Chain A
Amino acid sequence: MEILGLLGDGMWLSLQPLNLMLILIGVTLGLFIGAMPGLGSVNGVAILLPVTFLVPPGSAIIFLAAIYYGAMYGGAISSITLGIPGASTAVATTFDGRPLALNGRASLALVTAAIASFIGGTVANILFTLFAPVLASVALNFGPPEIFALMLLAFATFVGLGGDDIPKTIFSICIGLVFAAVGFDQISGAPRLVFFDISGFLHGINFLVLAIGVYGIGEMLWTLDSTRGKITSSEAKMSFKGIVADSKEGMKRGWKGTTVGSFLGFFVGILPAAGATPGSLMSYGVTKMIAKNPQEFGKGHPGGVAAPEAANNSASTGSMLPMLTLGIPGSPTTAILLGGMVIWGLTPGPRMFVDQSEFVWGLIGSFYVSNFFALAINLAFIPLFIWMLRMPFTVLAPLIFVLSVVGGFAATRDMHDVWLMLGFGLGAFFLRKFDYPLAPAVLAIVLGPIAEPTLRQSLLLSSGDPAIFFNRPIAGPITIAAIILILLPLFKVIRDKMRTRNAA
């Protein structure tokens, strides 16, 4: 009952005029950002974070969370109408969404995606409300070794479950952590890693400089190179009657996918390395596997749209769970949200549920409100979004670049950082070409300032004995789980080699 009371207060807070306005703007912007090829929630949140310094922190995070929500809905629009995923989270939506559009059923695909997203978001919100306070109360007992073990687990999931090249993933994590160490040593106060004695490095490398460089500049260059401007939009005629009919058909044929996506997406979303992209792909796979006619998938089945869309929305809420309760982001977008909270003077983690109860429950309340408005705005403005998708890339791209440069400067007000951001953007473009995953670096630069002091405090407590991470009741299992995850790819290699040998 207490939770319901707190949730009610939170929802009331999120319905205050300023917050409601920010939710509406955020969801609409998010829908547009998500729908644009090459842009996803992470780009929107990274580029727009500097403009939130105008409003109080509670309203700022509600605005950014609304962008996150909207972008998850929006990703489906370009996947279906253009055949190009608006973001990686909507890749699986193209499998059946695009064939439906090509068969003249774009409206069925769009309505199914919107409703599945809404159900996925609602299920995730309920699970979040139930789990978050419990997890936060457990995490209140955490000391430096437990927190560092959690950081290790977050990085280990990228290695074990990320699915990318392992040495490149580890390199990405380490370089993000090293960038986070630039500036001053937090304990001795001595200048550290001030490259070529350039004074701009003394204030460290702001995570936004890396995030905007990677997601604002690097990703746009990559999109310009990979799409070559060849984007064609499918027509989608929408009417109220049509929406009702499509809703019925979409739910009748897509309920299994929606159910699978809603639950699987949430739990996959909680894992730091996993998030919405693998969540949606896994949900698509499971739904196809349990379907009566799996051969229909890939040719235009509403279930193939419902599963990934329910999952990516559910996962986006799921990824907020470790961010708010443990201070560990579950996705690159939540990593940037977490960084923003630190800028606003808040300390994410279990103490927030005690010290900043109004803030936390306001945010949770806003999830419900954002989810509702994202559905309403999505259904009402689908034709408008499709029209906007016809905006030439040669107009959209310079707008994104301008926003990136202005946002990069506004974050630290130092031209040094703008140059650094351009360097990161160009570097990210080339590294992505060679399959270096960049999300772990962004996550690492956010978590670095927490990971290093907790490691040093832990080792100081134990007089330099690393056993402290193994012999404590909570830190021990977490550290062992992290080590298993790190070794998981190695186990897979050994297993494959043994299978090959046995087969021979």
Chain B
Amino acid sequence: MRLGEIITAGVLALLSIYLMVKSSELEIGYISGEGPGGGAWPFWLSAIMLICTGVIAYNWYKRTSPPSQSTEPLLDRYGWMMLLKVGGGLFLFIALIDVISMYGAMAVFLIYYVGFLGRHSWFLTLSLAIILPIVFFFFFEGLMRITMPKGLPFTEPFFNVMYEIIY
């Protein structure tokens, strides 16, 4: 945790500097008759962020904050594996949306999570993976008129059938 605390502070300091540079693309001072420039607000806030990371680093050096005193690892083996499996699963879920549609990606994610990670029965897994996307389809497309991504053209015939049911 101790090493992680200072690395995080360092990354956030770099982010603050980047935000300051990016903000300064617009005027950061006071423009007579117009008030503060468009970049002033984010620039000075980013400057405060940079100062905060400096104080966080000082507290780390002085070992006053709980993470800076901790000898525990940031994440143990379980934590890293959980993050890899769940975070990775979420990443693939979102990546698949543009390929096999929101509903298809949802079904794949549910099969992956409930069936493989949760090790539940195939009956429960497939029930959830089939019923939930259908319920979501009718709720969003039918009731709320919110169109979700449909993925690549090969999904069209399936959605044509579904839309015929709605309209």
Residue pair B106, A402 in contact (C-beta under 8 Å): yes
Q: Which of B32-82 contact A (CB under 8 A)?
A: 34-36, 38-39, 41-42, 45-46, 48-49, 52-53, 55-56, 59, 65-67, 74-75, 78-79, 82
Task: Kindly identify which residue among A51, A221, A406 contacts B148, using a CB–CB cutoff of 8 Å.
Answer: A406
Task: Kindly identify which residue among B41, B59, B143 contacts A452, using a CB–CB cutoff of 8 Å.
Answer: B41
Residues of A within 8 A of B114 (CB): 394-395, 398
Mark contacts of B130-155 with chain A using CB atoms, 8 A cut-off: 1 yes-contact digit, 0 otherwise. 00100010011001101111000000
Residues of A within 8 A of B100 (CB): none
A171 on the B face (CB < 8 A): yes
Q: How far in angstroms is the closest Cβ of chain B from A448? A: 9
Residue pair B82, A402 in contact (C-beta under 8 Å): no
Residue pair A225, B19 in contact (C-beta under 8 Å): no
Closest residue to A430 on the B side, CB-wise?
B8
Helix, strand, loop or mixed for chain B's interface?
A: helix
Residue pair B49, A178 in contact (C-beta under 8 Å): yes
Bound: A401/B124 CA distance, A: 18
Q: How far in angstroms is the closest Cβ of chain A from B139? A: 8
Residue pair B87, A459 in contact (C-beta under 8 Å): no
Interface centre among B45, B65, B82, B147 (most CB of A within 10 A): B45
A503 on the B face (CB < 8 A): no
Residue pair B59, A434 in contact (C-beta under 8 Å): no
Task: Kindly identify which residue among A174, A225, A398 contacts B49, using a CB–CB cutoff of 8 Å.
Answer: A174
Residue pair A418, B118 in contact (C-beta under 8 Å): no
Mark contacts of A190-208 with chain B using CB atoms, 8 A cut-off: 1 yes-contact digit, 0 otherwise. 1011010000000000000
Q: How far in angstroms is the closest Cβ of chain A from B116? A: 10
Bound: A413/B114 CA distance, A: 27
Residue pair B22, A221 in contact (C-beta under 8 Å): no
**CB within 8 Å for A167 and B56 given contacts A224-B86, A402-B106:** yes
**CB within 8 Å for A221 and B65 given contacts A402-B132, A457-B35:** no
Bound: A335/B89 CA distance, A: 30
A424 on the B face (CB < 8 A): no
A415 on the B face (CB < 8 A): yes
Residue pair A409, B148 in contact (C-beta under 8 Å): yes
A504 on the B face (CB < 8 A): no
A54 on the B face (CB < 8 A): yes
Q: How far in angstroms is the closest Cβ of chain B from A119? A: 37
Residue pair A459, B48 in contact (C-beta under 8 Å): no
Query: Which of the candidate stretches A4-12, A17-25, A181-189, A316-324 sits at the interface with the other chain?
Result: A181-189
A484 on the B face (CB < 8 A): no
A426 on the B face (CB < 8 A): yes
Bound: A181/B132 CA distance, A: 37
Q: How far in angstroms is the closest Cβ of chain B from A160? A: 16
Closest residue to A196 on the B side, CB-wise?
B22
Q: Considering the complex of A and B, which 3 residue pairs feature the smallest CB-CB distances, nearest first?
A: A394-B118, A185-B38, A460-B35
- Sample of 6 A–B contacts (CB below 8 Å): A168-B52, A193-B22, A405-B97, A405-B102, A434-B5, A456-B41
